[in-house]
Homo-oligomer: A and B are copies of this chain.
Amino acid sequence: MDPLEDLFTFLRFPSISADSQFRNEVEACAEWLCHRLTQAGLEAHRLVTPGFPVVVARNQHRPDRKTVLIYGHYDVQPVDPLALWDSLPFEPVVKGNKIYARGATDNKGQILAHILGVEQALREKGDLPVNVVFVIEGEEEVGSGHLGQVLTDHRQALGADIVAVSDTGMVAPGIPTFTYGLRGIFCLELRLQGPAVDLHSGIFGGSVANPATVLSRMLSALHDAHGRVAVPGFYDDVKPLEDWERTLWAQLPLTDELWLRTTGAKQLSGEEGFSTLERVWARPTAEINGLASGYQGEGSKTIVPSRAVAKLSFRLVPNQDPEKIRRQVTDFLRRLCPESVSMDTLSQHEGKPYLVRPDSSYGRAAQRALERTFQKPVAFIREGGSIPITQTFKDVLGTDTLLLGLALPDCKAHSPNENFLLENFYAGIRLNQNLLEELAHVT
């Protein structure tokens, strides 16, 4: 069977974990995945959680071999704004050398390459060089709220010598990339309530606090004039960049010009004193992910809105602690909020930042697998995204994680027209096989 056909099937499930109206589709995706893993020659089942199931699969384990846990996720981000997609997000299409669909890169394409690599090896050689455990969850895009408990409950069965994750990026097509650090995250919804209902802005305007105005003032205080987050204590635990990191990163083929083209921004901007890569890989941020207040329809509606809401997320770097930052941010917002409106915060998902030594024996094995697959020297990077579960693997299983991602800078993960380079899909299948062989020989 053409590997692409499997990818098409996987991508057609609208497995959006953030939106409860897609609950059935997320479940159906888990069911298909479990079936597909069984078909690949693995023993597969779903572990029920209060949220979406974790799909687990393993080959026949032998005690004299290394055990590799391969982690991925079958859930995807929401798709709006739908109008900006050139083709429907859940009707994958191949155009040029790419496949376009929500989840193509993040993470369905990458995790499926691992599955197909294992299937192929099993078919061709009858066995794998290592014990493999797939752990594929359905809540990564909403913070992996139940995976920690699953790992804790099944610590014995899911124990491994090393974890491998393909959910990170390559610096450019054809350049194998080893990611040794990730940012953490903490999300918060800020809700302000002014008058009991939307008021006529003529009859009442000027006499009561406008919650949208208050929200703007509060949010404007999040950053100082130098692009730094102005929450007191926010930078206290930030680990400074090492000189070797700044040097290596400055040599990467990720130029500001490419970054500008990829983002489509008018110009790059951010915290003073840092390069673009330093800003996104090693510096924390405060971002507004969404704003909502009052009338948003066509034309005008002259009201003082009753409510104003902001969705906020904070990207964290080693050694910031999400719990500590949450307290700092909440205190900061509470101090900023005037008496004239009511404030409420809804804490959303969070995850710790991650940093590993790139020169461990497993790290070196992974780097050899990358070089064999792409026939090029490996680039060493950190990443700006968050895979909070890497820290959970460390905390619960005591296991380090290898980040061997295949996402390209213009893959548009989380954006309209998400895509995956077809050659990376096939490279992922080879990488899986090279990786398992190299890890088998680690002493």
What is A's interface to B at a CB cutoff of 8 Å? Answer: 18-20, 77-78, 80-81, 84, 142-143, 169, 183, 185, 187, 189, 194-210, 212-213, 215-217, 219-223, 259, 263-271, 276, 279-280, 283-285, 287-305, 308-311, 313, 315, 338-342, 348-349, 383-386, 409, 412-417
Contacts and interface: CB of A to CB of B under 8 A. Distances in A.
Contacts of A196: 263-265
A195 to B, nearest CB: 5
Contacts of A412: 197
Given A199-B415, A259-B207, A19 B298 contact: yes
User: Looking at A297, A349, A383, which has the most chain B CB atoms within 10 Å of its CB?
Assistant: A297
A203 B293 contact: no
Given A187-B300, A289-B302, A290-B293, 5 more contacts: A80-B297, A207-B269, A208-B269, A209-B269, A287-B302
A131 to B, nearest CB: 31
Contacts of A298: 18-20
A420 to B, nearest CB: 14
B384 A18 contact: no
Contacts of A80: 295, 297
A169 B293 contact: no
Given A305-B290, A311-B294, A349 B300 contact: yes
B19 A297 contact: yes
For this chain, the copies found in one complex come to 2
Given A290-B293, A291-B212, A263 B301 contact: no
A322 to B, nearest CB: 14
A200 B280 contact: no
Contact of A384 (B204, B279, B386): B204
A289 B300 CA distance: 8
23 contacts: A18-B297, A18-B300, A19-B297, A78-B301, A80-B295, A189-B300, A196-B264, A197-B412, A201-B287, A202-B383, A202-B385, A203-B385, A208-B263, A208-B270, A212-B289, A213-B287, A216-B219, A266-B341, A269-B338, A290-B293, A290-B301, A290-B303, A295-B311
Contacts of A385: 200, 202-203
A370 B377 CA distance: 90
A290 B215 CA distance: 12
A384 B205 contact: yes
B289 A292 contact: no
Contacts of A339: 266-267
B296 A292 contact: yes
Contacts of A194: 265-266
Given A289-B303, A340-B266, A415-B197, A216 B213 contact: no
Nearest to A142: B299
Contacts of A77: 301
Contacts of A265: 194-196, 208-209, 340
B288 A305 contact: yes
B297 A207 contact: no
A311 B301 contact: yes
A266 B337 CA distance: 13
A370 to B, nearest CB: 20
Contacts of A185: 202, 302
Among the interface residues A196, A290, A310, A415, which one has the most CB atoms of the partner chain B within 10 A?
Answer: A290
